[in-house]
Amino acid sequence: MATTTNTTEPLQPLDMIIFGGGGDLAVRKLLPALYMAHLHGNLPPSTRIIAVGRHVYDRASYIEFVQERSQSFIEAKNLEAKAWQEFLGLLHYVALDATNGATYADLARASRQGVERVFYLATAPTIFMNICENLAASGLVDQHSRVVLEKPLGHDLESAREINLAVGKYFNESQIYRIDHYLGKETVQNLMVLRFGNGILEPLWRAPNIRSVQITVAETVGVGSRAGFYDGTGALRDMVQNHLLQLLCIIAMEPPVSLDPDAVRDEKLKVLRSLRRMRLGDIARDTVRGQYSTGAVNGEAVKAYRDEADVPADSRTETFVALRTYVDTWRWANVPFFLRTGKRMQKRMSQIVIEFANPPFSIFPDAPRTTANRLVIHLQPEESIQLQLMAKQPGSGMQMLPVSLNLDLQSAFSQRRAEAYERLLIDVVRGRLTHFMRRDELEAAWSWADPILEGWQELAERPLPYTAGSWGPDASAALLAREGFNWIE
């Protein structure tokens, strides 16, 4: 099979085929994102969106379903009646059993000949192999086809390799788009420009100038309807192994030679392979597992994780993880990277904090003990970058206080800011692989995560309880405090 990657606007019509087209992800994210892409002219001419699922809809009833379910996930200011009706006109539906090859005949008839096909697999990864095998057997896969794989891509390294091998039988690596919606966020993509487009930062972006790095992804929501899936997954697999490690890679990577997808992903892979592997003693000392108990979030009482529907009463699944790790390279020698994520936290927040080293000697007698400069990169809910510096407090002699230089990305640029899924779907349509994980990246991430999961199992310790609406177990703060740091919140 030829390895062709389209890097320009495709001239051929497009069939976007969504497996799981009646599911939660399609309703909340994919269809609204495709509508926005249509609204702004970012879909090729003669695009068709073919939803695939077990539920038996005809085209009219599926369109009615989308009308009822997806509109609320589109901002009212973007709902233009003419554009919405045009978008609904792109929709088609095919009922099939994804694991039964005989049912793919209807899909083969529905998809046009001579078009570029994108297969979006918004299904359980356990049936990725069945889908790809049946697509190929039905004559729907060719050298121009692309396949988008939703996470979680595996439960561990072994299962990730099985998925990669199965999909790789029918699609070349250049046709496979492993999606991580964090890589579609504007501020995450702006990290590349921040790091490699500003000469002022590069000389400082290394040890010993940087004292520590913090990455936090905190959620106020619980597990909700995902409890059945989540209890077999946990926070390390659900968030750390993919989202947080991808953020760490962008912070820690060396400058790529270009923005060519493989040039960028080669550098990210080097970071993942340089992550220090944890032994059992490291895991006991440098990781914290938590599970939320009853509490209050945003002023409303919430139940404990074990009281959620479909969660076993004796569950040991972690809903919170904090850990310390190191990137063993010259640039990052002995710089701790602190990672933290959790559900039912005090507030929704995703941020990266680069803490620079203190001055080697202070001439100010009243200076606070720690006068570190910090670069604080807010990813959500607002998107902004702050550089915290020390300044003299007016009228106070030489007393210092921290002040911030703020870059509010939303007010700095007048252009519309596309949502992550919209941006990534446009990348798929245009054949741009830079913001998607390569096979060896995925496997390197699992190679680092697996020993932690195995260590937790060997230690056989229950996750520490933390009150819903807090910042996690006290042990998370202690993890940093013993090294002279604290979480920036």
Active-site residues: which are they? 243
Question: Per the annotation, does 29 bind a ligand?
Answer: no
Amino acid sitting at position 95: A
Residue recorded with tokens 């439960």: 155
Question: Per the annotation, does 144 bind a ligand?
Answer: no
CA nearest 50: which of 96, 100, 101?
96
Burial grade of 106 (CB within 10 A; 0-12, 13-18, 19 or more): middle
Question: Per the annotation, does 82 bind a ligand?
Answer: no
Question: Per the annotation, does 40 bind a ligand?
Answer: no
Cα 368 to Cα 398: distance, rounded to the nearest angstrom:
12
Question: Per the annotation, does 55 bind a ligand?
Answer: no
Q: How many angstroms separate the Cα of 335 from the Cα of each of 253, 326, 435, 483? A: 14, 6, 26, 11
Question: Per the annotation, does 54 bind a ligand?
Answer: yes
SS3 of residue 342 by DSSP: strand
User: Which H or E run contains 335?
Assistant: none
Question: Per the annotation, does 308 bind a ligand?
Answer: no
Identify whether 208 is preceded by a cis peptide bond (ω within 30 of 0): yes
| Token code pair at residue 262 | 């493989």
- Which residues, 6+ apart, have CB-to-CB distance to 438 below 8 Å? 173, 178, 262, 265, 269
- Length of the chain equals 489
- Give counts: helices (H), strands (E), the chain: 17, 17
Cα 265 to Cα 31: distance, rounded to the nearest angstrom:
28
Q: How many angstroms separate the Cα of 140 from the Cα of each of 16, 50, 105, 134? A: 12, 13, 10, 9
CA nearest 347: which of 240, 236, 217?
217
Amino acid sitting at position 301: A
353 DSSP assignment = E
Provide the 10 A C-beta neighbour count for residue 159.
15
Q: In what order do the strands lie in the sheet with 320-326?
A: 400-408, 384-392, 374-380, 349-356, 210-218, 336-342, 320-326, 287-293, 464-467
Cα 298 to Cα 296: distance, rounded to the nearest angstrom:
7
Q: Which residues are annotated as a binding site for NADP(+)?
A: 54, 151
Q: Which residues are annotated as a binding site for substrate?
A: 181, 185, 219, 238, 343
